[in-house]
Amino acid sequence: MEQTSSGKNFTITSQEEVKGTEPPSFRRWLVLATGFFVMFLATGFAFNLAVLIPELFSSYGKSKAETALVQSITAGMLNIGGTPCGKSVSKYGARVTGIAGSLLVTIGLVCSFFSTRIPHLVVTLGIISGFGFSAVFVSSLTSVGEYFEDKSKLMALAFITFGSGCGGILVPFILDMLINEYGWKGSLLLMGGLMTHMICFFAVCKPIMIGISTTQDSENETSSHRPFVNSLKSLVTNAVYIIHVIRVCFTIPAINSSKIFIIDYLNTNGFKSTSC
């Protein structure tokens, strides 16, 4: 405890007192490897549910728009859930949030095995599993960021992003193989069992907390109790972030419109998906 000339008391916690010791190097590489596999499974599955769309369409006979809701809501929840999941990570830690998210993903996939209609899948696979994917996504990035610093952190985050790309390439083939062997419901059940392994991945991500606790005047205390609101204010006033959001809003519709145009052009010229 130290006292300044202004009479304010500051309790400074050193890095050694908070951490105890530096994390061993093997744990860092273990956290990095688990982050790679989490991104491989989570984003690889969430963004490749299009493999299931033909099976759902033939099973339930609903319109293409209603059937596509399953994939759309799953991917949407992965992105929308970033805000509450980030708040959970800051309050409970990346390991607890990641384990909880892994359980949600597993529960949603297992419950999808018993689905009888599209709205059931929208709730189980879209909302429950989608929110779980968001939790494991944010927790994985946070865990890796805690164990690496400076340039090594950039390389580590780039490496687990590479895992996301690998999942996007390989998971569709895995899903297709499972569907051919066990049907689409059986594939979801098996994927649910595979996603359970993410609980073990996050179990090794021991949280690291480095900080300085202070006792300040009431104005600063009130501000410290509202970190989430302050973060939102900083985002709204950040010109670079606003430009990025506007760019995304214009870019994604343009890309999707181009895809629709290409698909429609191929269909009008006799190209059918059944001929592939």
Q: Give the pLDDT score at 231.
A: 65
Buried b / exposed e along 120-134 (16+ C-beta atoms within 10 A): bbbebbbbbbbbbbb
Pick 238 or 9 by higher pLDDT.
Answer: 238
Instruction: For residues 182 and 187, give the distance between their C-alpha atoms in angstroms, rounded to a whole number.
Output: 6
Per-residue pLDDT tens over the stretch 80-92: 888 788 888 888 8
pLDDT at 14 over 70: no
Per-residue pLDDT tens over the stretch 249-258: 777 666 666 6
Q: Give the pLDDT score at 214.
A: 37
Taking a C-beta distance cutoff of 8 angstroms, is the pair 69, 126 a contact?
A: yes
Query: For the purposes of burial, counting CB atoms within 10 Å of the CB of 62, is it exposed (0-12), middle (13-18) or buried (19 or more)?
Result: middle
Cβ within 8 Å of residue 1, ≥6 positions away = 9, 10, 11
Instruction: For residues 111 and 107, give the distance between their C-alpha atoms in angstroms, rounded to a whole number.
Output: 6
Looking at residue 214, its amino acid is: T
**Number of residues written out for the chain:** 276
pLDDT at 245 over 50: yes
Q: Residues 3-11: what's their mean pLDDT?
A: 45
Q: Give the pLDDT score at 9.
A: 46
* DSSP H or E stretch at residue 2: strand 2-3
For residue 180, give both structure tokens: 């051919």
Helix (H, G, I), strand (E, B) or coil at 209: coil
In 3D, which of 109, 105, 122 has the Cα closest to residue 190?
A: 109
CATH topology of domain 9-217: Growth Hormone; Chain: A; (1.20.1250)
pLDDT at 46 over 70: yes
Q: Give the pLDDT score at 103.
A: 92
Q: Residues 172-196: what's their mean pLDDT?
A: 89
pTM of the prediction?
0.70
Residue 170: CA atoms inside 13 Å, Cβ hemisphere, count? 11
**Mean pLDDT for the chain overall:** 76
CA of residue 270 relative to chain centroid, distance: 39
Q: Give the pLDDT score at 104.
A: 92
